[in-house]
């Protein structure tokens, strides 16, 4: 049974296979935020402890497993999301450059203002820890309204319902419907900064060399914090604004190769084939 990541279905598949004595191979093993209140943390820890082959995206993940006494079947394959970004970013840039991205977005929302690359923030908010705490949600949107550049926000259904229910007024924020992967890559690569509570988007911002502010107290992707490419922010308006307006010294530093060589799919396949013999 091959399972990926830290969703409820990941844990369900891992547990079902384990009870049937079917080997479990976990892609993206070893991640830890050390916040056991997070459903994702519960899922990833339990999945790792019933897995036979632990396919880690980074050396940090390997080290995390070692701390928990898991050393057999552990392989650093690199991050498969990095493979995907490398294979799709040129397609994305080719498809949506020269203003095509704005034309596409305006097909669904004609009120989208004129925007230019590197002159907007790309934001996503969806985690229950932020959306279900109305005080936090108000702080987040209050900070968005005071930012020095427009904010583009692909809206999660949960967040959208709360904006309407709580009557949150938006002037500097442009809500757009969820977009496809290639468009999201383009928006991420061409943003001045990403502001998010998403784990995956933190990484994609890092891969695309776009600075990121993460609206959480911790991240499972600690590698993205190196050299300030990603900075965590507490959920209050002053802290968020201070973080997003920081000096972007990260742009002066080359990124270390912390997520593999872009061939993790090949390494994962080889590990599985070797383990199956």
In this prediction, residue 199 carries a pLDDT of 86
In this prediction, residue 160 carries a pLDDT of 85
In this prediction, residue 12 carries a pLDDT of 98
Protein fold of 2-79+260-276:
Rossmann fold (3.40.50)
CA 93 to chain centre: 20
In this prediction, residue 79 carries a pLDDT of 97
**Using CB atoms within 10 A of its CB, is residue 204 exposed (0-12), middle (13-18) or buried (19+)?**
buried
In this prediction, residue 277 carries a pLDDT of 52
Protein fold of 81-252:
Rossmann fold (3.40.50)
Please list the residue range(s) of the chain that carry CATH number 3.40.50.2000. Answer: 2-79+260-276, 81-252
Residues lower than pLDDT 70 in the chain = 276-277
In this prediction, residue 276 carries a pLDDT of 60
Alpha-carbon span 90 to 92, nearest angstrom: 5
Using the CB atoms, write b or e for 30-48: b if 16+ within 10 Å: bbbbeeeebebbebbbbbb
* Residues annotated as part of the active site: 126
Alpha-carbon span 251 to 260, nearest angstrom: 21
């Amino acid at each position: 049974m091959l399972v990926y990541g830290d969703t409820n279905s990941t844990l369900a598949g891992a547990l079902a296979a384990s009870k049937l004595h079917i080997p479990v191979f976990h892609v993206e093993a070893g991640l830890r935020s050390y916040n056991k209140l997070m459903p994702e943390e519960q899922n990833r820890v339990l999945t790792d402890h019933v897995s036979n082959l632990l396919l880690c995206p980074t050396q940090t993940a390997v080290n995390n497993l070692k701390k928990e006494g898991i050393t057999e079947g552990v392989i650093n394959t690199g991050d498969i999301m990095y493979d995907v970004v490398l294979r799709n970013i040129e397609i994305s840039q080719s498809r949506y450059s020269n203003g095509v991205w704005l034309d596409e977005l305006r097909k669904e929302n004609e009120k989208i203002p004129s925007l230019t690359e590197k002159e907007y923030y790309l934001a996503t908010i969806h985690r229950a820890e932020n959306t279900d705490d109305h005080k936090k949600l108000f702080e987040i949107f209050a900070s968005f309204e005071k930012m020095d550049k427009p904010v583009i926000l692909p809206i999660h259904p949960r967040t959208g319902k709360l904006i309407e229910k709580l009557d949150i007024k938006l002037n500097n924020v442009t809500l757009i419907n969820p977009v496809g992967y290639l468009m999201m890559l383009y928006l991420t690569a061409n943003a001045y900064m990403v502001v998010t509570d998403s784990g995956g988007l933190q990484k994609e911002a890092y891969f695309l060399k776009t600075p990121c502010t993460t609206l959480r107290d911790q991240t499972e992707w600690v590698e993205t914090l190196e050299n300030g490419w990603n900075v965590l922010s507490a959920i209050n308006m002053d802290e968020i604004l201070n973080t997003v307006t920081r000096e972007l010294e990260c742009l002066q530093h080359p990124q270390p190769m912390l997520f593999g060589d872009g061939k993790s799919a090949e390494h994962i396949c080889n590990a599985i084939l070797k383990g199956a013999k």
